[in-house]
Amino acid sequence: MHSYHSLKRLAHAVPLPAMFVDLDVFDSNVHALAQICRISGKTWRPATKSLRVPALLKRIQKIAGETQKGWMCFSIFEASYLYSQGFDDLLLAYPISTEAEYAEAFKLLEAGCNFHLMVDSLAHIAALSGALSKKIANDKRILRFQVCIDVDMSWRPLPFLHLGVCRSPIRSLAQFKEIFFEAQKSDFLLLTGVMGYEAQIAGLPDKNRFNRWQNPIKHLIRTLSKKNVLKRRGEIAEFLKAYKARLRFMNGGGTGSFEFAAQDPSLTEITAGSGPLQSQLFDYYTETTAQKILRPALFFALPICRIPDSKKVTLKSGGFVASGEVGQDRNPALYRPEGATLTASEGVGEVQTPVCVSDSSLYQLGDPFFFRPAKAGEIAEHFNHYGLFRDEKMEEIVPTYRGLGLNFF
């Protein structure tokens, strides 16, 4: 448990606002996720979008050891950067679709990078095949894009009811087979993997303190959807086995469904990125790894710039509200000092954040207040550096993508 005074001492050593990562907790979280993979016989493919700090990616790689295999990244340009930094086996979470992306993918291919492009339609297969065929026309080299088929895992218990996110149009085994056989026919593609991400489980908290009446409904959706996901991923795995397809991986999971994914015999690997940092949203689950063994490792500090009255202080800078369905759970959570609360009238602002306190005379100008961001990755777009600390001492200041002048999102 972090005390306010210990965090305050850290904050006074750096310019504010600032972001902090507790290395002891971060390392412990990485060990815990790696151990679940080790027990289940699966590997862990961390999602880079949920960290966006190269030093933390390297730390995961070092601590997780043989259980960590590959990375899931967002764009082909991020993949290029990560490859230049020594990372390999890169799975792009989203399909590429522009000429600039095709050109970058070809550069990576020529460089020898082990990367996998996402496809979910005949159009993707035709576009990738066409782009590569143009590049290697009259070239005797055998070059092929490695591709992964993204299968929709949302739950549709009724024709008009869609529970999940709008991702892949592949919603049946028949549709999967159509894409599978078309990819197999292409001289320019090599099918290496399948992804079936259960977003309505991994991203659906059922212990949300802001919408308690919805929790039983969300818990039921999670429970029933798990059966559906296991069945559909199992059908694909059985087909691949019967066809004797030699794929390298079958991917699923997220921080919010890590243990569930670990128990799915169809999967060979699990993706999760927020778990090592344990951002606030992952406190709101009843049946996940996050609720049982992961602890908060990520905080940002805002300084007091005004003291308007005896019951309020005003913090400089904003609250960095997370994306997703609008709600109070997308706000950062006040972490330290304990007992402080956001005002109902202003909440978290863009350039100032007023906070209600029991007695403002207990604080001075410049004193920091600490928050936990709702999401782990997006917050990195607001900070150039993270301060990594251990035993209440700052060990290192490391750059984020933004601090390196990079923007892949």
375 secondary structure, DSSP code: S
CA separation for the pair 65, 169 (Å, rounded): 35
- Distance from C-alpha of 298 to C-alpha of 303, rounded to nearest angstrom: 17
Cβ contacts of 255 within 8 Å, gap of 6 or more: 50, 202, 272, 273, 274, 275, 282, 288, 289, 290, 294
Q: What is the pTM of this model?
A: 0.94
CA 238 to chain centre: 29
Contacts of 27 (CB under 8 A, 6+ apart): 59, 63
Judge contact between 393 and 20, C-beta under 8 A: no
**How far apart are the C-alpha atoms of 14 and 9, rounded to whole Å?**
10
- Domain spans in the chain, listed from the N-terminal domain onward: 23-292, 298-404
pLDDT in tens, the chain (409 residues): 789 999 999 998 899 999 999 999 999 999 999 999 999 999 999 999 999 999 999 999 999 999 999 999 999 999 999 999 999 999 999 999 999 999 999 999 999 999 999 999 999 999 999 999 998 877 767 899 999 999 999 888 777 777 778 889 999 999 999 999 999 999 999 999 999 999 888 877 777 788 788 777 777 888 888 999 999 999 999 999 999 998 999 999 999 999 999 999 999 999 999 999 999 988 888 766 666 789 999 999 999 999 999 999 999 998 788 887 777 878 899 999 999 999 988 888 889 999 999 999 999 999 999 999 999 999 999 999 999 999 989 999 999 999 999 999 8
Extended strands (E) in 94-203: 115-119, 145-150, 155-158, 161-163, 189-195
CATH architecture of 298-404: Beta Barrel (2.40)
Collapse the DSSP code of 4 into the 3-class scheme (helix H, G, I; strand E, B; otherwise coil) and give the result: helix
Beta pairing class for 71-73 and 90-92: parallel
CATH architecture label of 23-292: Alpha-Beta Barrel (3.20)
Domains 23-292 and 298-404 share a fold: no
